[in-house]
Structures are given as C-alpha cells and as structure tokens.
Structure 1
Amino acid sequence: MCSILLVFSACWIVFSHPTGAFPLDSGLNRTRRDVSCTGGLQYRHGDLCCLYCRAGTYVKSPCTRFGEAGQCEECDSGTYIEHDSDLTKCFPCTQCRSDQELVKQCTHAEDGKCQCKPGRFCHPDEACEVCKRCIRCKKDEEVVRNCTSTTNTECKKIQSKPGAPSDSIVVTVVCVATAVAVCVVFIIALGLYKWRRKRSDSQPDLPDSMKTELEEEFPQLVPVKGEESLRACFEYFEDLNVDYYRRFFRSLGISDNVIKGCDHQQYEDRIHELLNKWVEKEGRDASLNSLLRALLDLSQKRTAETIRDQALQAGHYER
C-alpha cells in the first residue's frame, strides 16, 4: 500500500512540473518593490533604492544597482542645495536688494545671506519686502537701544533730575517771560516768509555771469553705481529746510495730493517716500544733478553744497 502511494506522489510531481523546476521562495527572488528604502539616506528609482547625492550636488542620473549612488554633479556657480537629496536641479542663490547688503557669500551647499543696510531694519518675523528706516529719538528722548538690521531704535523720555524744577513750573516761567517776544517774532517771521516767497516766485532768471559761476561750483556729477548711488544720497536731503519742503517737491513735478498723502509719516520718511516716487516718475532721467538744480532754483545753495560734498566724500559720485 505504501509503495503505491509513493509511486502516485512521484507521478504527481513529474506531471505538475514537467520541466523539473521546483519553486524556490527563499526571499531572494522577491521583487525589490517589497523592500523599503532608508529614509533620509535613499530614494526610490523604479525597483531600486539609490543613495542621496550629498549637499552641493544634484542627481544627474539615478543609480543602476541597488543601494548605490547614481551620478552626482556639483551645482553650477550661483546655485546651491543645502542638504543631501534626490533633487535634479539646484536652487538659485538669493540676490540682495538695493536696500540690503550681503553678509554671507552663497556656496554650492549653502545659500547666501542678506541683511538691511545700516540705518534700516526689518523684523525677522515679518515678510521683509523692504527695509524700513530707523527712527531718530526726539530732543526730549534718549536712546535705549540702537537700531540693528532686525530691530528699530528704542527711545524713552529723559527723566528730570531730582531737585530740578518741575516741567510745569519751567513752562509757566518761560511762557510768561517770552510770550510777547514770541508773538513779535512770529509776526516778523510770517511777514518775512511771505515776502521771500513773493520775491522767489517773481525772481527773474539769473544773469549769465552768475549761471557760469554756479556751473563751475556745481559741475555734472557722475554716479559710481547708477541708480544705487542716487538712492544712497536720499538721506542727505533729510536736512532740507521744512519751509521749502513742499515747494521743492512741487518743482520736481510731484502733485500736492501725493505730497499730502505722506503727511502722516515722520519728516525723514516723507523725504525718502517722495524721492522714491520721483525716481519712479523720471526713470532713467532721474539724477542727483536735477535735485541739486532744484535746490539752487529755490535759493538753497548751502543745502545743495552740503549734499554735493557728502555725495563726493562718501564715494557715491565723482566729478
């Protein structure tokens, strides 16, 4: 009986596998789709797990054997990849804006870093679309913390010293002692302002000899870095006499509505905002020479000389 069973089993095996091949499922013939790639080290390409390319390189072609790296190429100049990855393209390096300065060069494995130029700041938790101008403490305030590239200036009221007369007493004494003088000075100043304005509005053209003299004192200045040099000189216009502020920008073609729209800002910020609008309006024709000429036309020669000298000393312009 046992012999019959053995013969039957042998026949079944032969007819079930006529080629003589027996199934071998040891795990070696399983498809590699059943194998998971190591996170952070490998990436899947078809049925293969390829090693990441190191930082600063990109995948030019994937691997052809399991567990190996493909062809990795170094990022081109001006591009980077900061971490090991399977990226096939590098990222372009960050370009600093005109109101920023480069503090860290871009490498193949790390992006460059920009920060606001001195005198400007941008909070790190805000979208830094433009660097804001640092405030200046008022006369009755003192600096608590200087402005940095990421924080504005902090000011606080100056505390009166112990034993000093109170502010109310000082104000009362000063008002009583100078009330009449202030009124007289105000009336004289108002009359003088109206007279000078009338005289300026009706002032005839300068004689040729005076024009020649001004041209010798104010030759055409040449910017070292184009528009960037012009914008770098905006801060020099902060000392513009407030009495000439509106007339100056009207002479540049800025409308009264635009000028009034900046009245809510601090005086220095108004100057910068309106100068930026003027540059946008003039385009390539905008130049420091035009601004100096506008000051001269308003009889603000001393202000024009100061701005001219500052622009030359700082190296923004050349004669």
Structure 2
Amino acid sequence: MAPKRCLVVVVAIVALQLVEAMPVRSGVGRAGAGVHGATCGEEGYLEGNICCLNCPAGKYLKSPCTSARQRGECVECDFGTYTAHDNHLPQCLKCTKCHSDQEAVGECTGTLDRECQCKPGMFCTPDQACEVCKKCSSCKDGEEKVRNCTAVANTKCSKGVSSSSNASAGVMVYPIISFIVLIVLIAIGVVFWKWKNGTLPGCQKDSNPGEKVEMAHEEFPTLVPLQGEEECLRKCFQYFEDELNIDYYKRFFRHLGLKDNMIRNLDQHEDRLYELLGIWLEKEGKEASINTLLKALLAFKQRLTAENIVKRAVTDGLYERKEVE
C-alpha cells in the first residue's frame, strides 16, 4: 500500500479509537436436550421408516400416512386457527387476538394469521413488543409538527431556535471543533512518528506498494446445506439451544417474526425453544434457512454465538461455507 494511503487509513482508525470504544459482549452457551431431524426433504416428514407428504396450508396432521410418499389424514383448521404453509403440525396455530387498544387490519383465515395495529391516536414502534400501545404525543407551544402520528411512529415535532440560542450554540461549537482538530493532529503525529521509525503495523516506509493491509474482520460466511435445507436445519436446533443465552430468546424470536402470544412465558418453559423453532420453520416453509437465524443473532450483536453455531454445523458435515467473493 502506498505510504500516503496507508497513513490516511491508520489516522482514521487511531482517531476513532481515541474518541470512543464500544465493547460488545457475546452470549453465553447453555446445555440442553437434542432433537432428531427428518430425512424426507422439504415436502415431507419421516414416520417410522417411511416418508409422508406434508399437509397443505390451512390444514393440520391428524394421523400420519401408512404408505410412502402419501399424505396422512389432514384436517381443516377450526375457526380461529390457521397454518400458513405446508406442514405436519399436530394442531393449527391460534390466531392472534388484537388487544383492546388495537384494531385488526387483516382478519384471520385458515391460511393467514390476523394482523393487528394500534388504534388511531396511539402507536407502537416495530422494534418493541406491542404489549400496550402508547398515546400519540402533541406538540408543545413553540413547536411545529413535522410528522403526524401513525400506528408505528409517534408524532414528530421540531422546536424553533431563537437567535440568542443560535449565538450560544455557535459559541459552544468552537471548543468542540478545536478539540476534534487537536485529536486529529495528535493522531497524525503519533502515526507519522511510528511510520518514520518503521514501527507502524501494516505499513513500511518504503515497502512493496502492492502489499495489502489485512481486513480487520472477515465478512460473515453464508452456509450451504450438504443435504436438504430442512433436514440440516432441524439438526442444528441443538446448536441454538447450546449456544444462545436464554436472556436473548424473546428478542431472537421477535426478530424472526413470531407473534408475542407464541413466545409469551418462554423464559419459564425453556424447552419451548425447539417448539418455536419448529413453528418458525413451518411458517417460513421453503424460505427457511439457517442463514436467516444467524442474521437474527448478528442483529443484536451475538456474533460469537453465531460463529460457534457455524463452526459446529460445518464440523458435523451439515453445511459448508460459501466463499465470499
């Protein structure tokens, strides 16, 4: 790497490290019971030593098949229940009931769950569990409304700034700018001194200009199943039970799109992790992938947990890494 470009990169890194450091804690693993996966591909399930076909959406499995590649007895979902995808669930899922402060925007059918949202004048942001809708705020005197309240966002108000306030803000800006300039100058001085003395990591004064600085971290890998996706995915449920801290269970399943009424009381019934992963698998159908579960872990900074699961899945011969181009 050319010395000038190297200096720019390292100056930026040193300056950021001087301004702030943000440590990330990873989840702590737990021990748990195992689960056996099916070997009949995405369209079926194993019953004894024969493969049965799943029931269609809108039905559940009352009794399994007795001949290979046949459907068992599939029964229509009762009123108030549903299944959204092909499945072999022992019963249909209960439709979500809207709270008293919510209204239905899509009714429950045999193949679709009921969708709820806060009533007019109330809101609940998507990143929160909407146990209770909050009342929309009103702008105060001297404030201007810049966005109306919706079912998923509160009212947004903008406060006018007086000339005296602007003057005060201007006075405060100069010390902040001076401090930032000082930090950058110190960083440049430290980097230049190390570079001049040949002690700067990754950069030599007159080194090979074509040499590249290693990436600070690798891109997270994508996994490719070595057998059927559903078969491999079910066998990986054990890894999530072992590696994911119970404190993250609810956030994990909410990120996967499961309703609050499904995951309520999860912390009192730990064995429901397998049940909820199974429900998520049936809900997603052919779109289900271990990569979706790993991205959910990365979303709330559980990278070490995700890396441990990837390592086990590859070591056990269920998945292989797809090289990042």
TM-score normalised per structure 1: 0.38
TM-score normalised per structure 2: 0.38
| Bigger helix fraction | 1
Which of 1 and 2 has higher RCO (CA within 8 Å, sep 6+)? 2
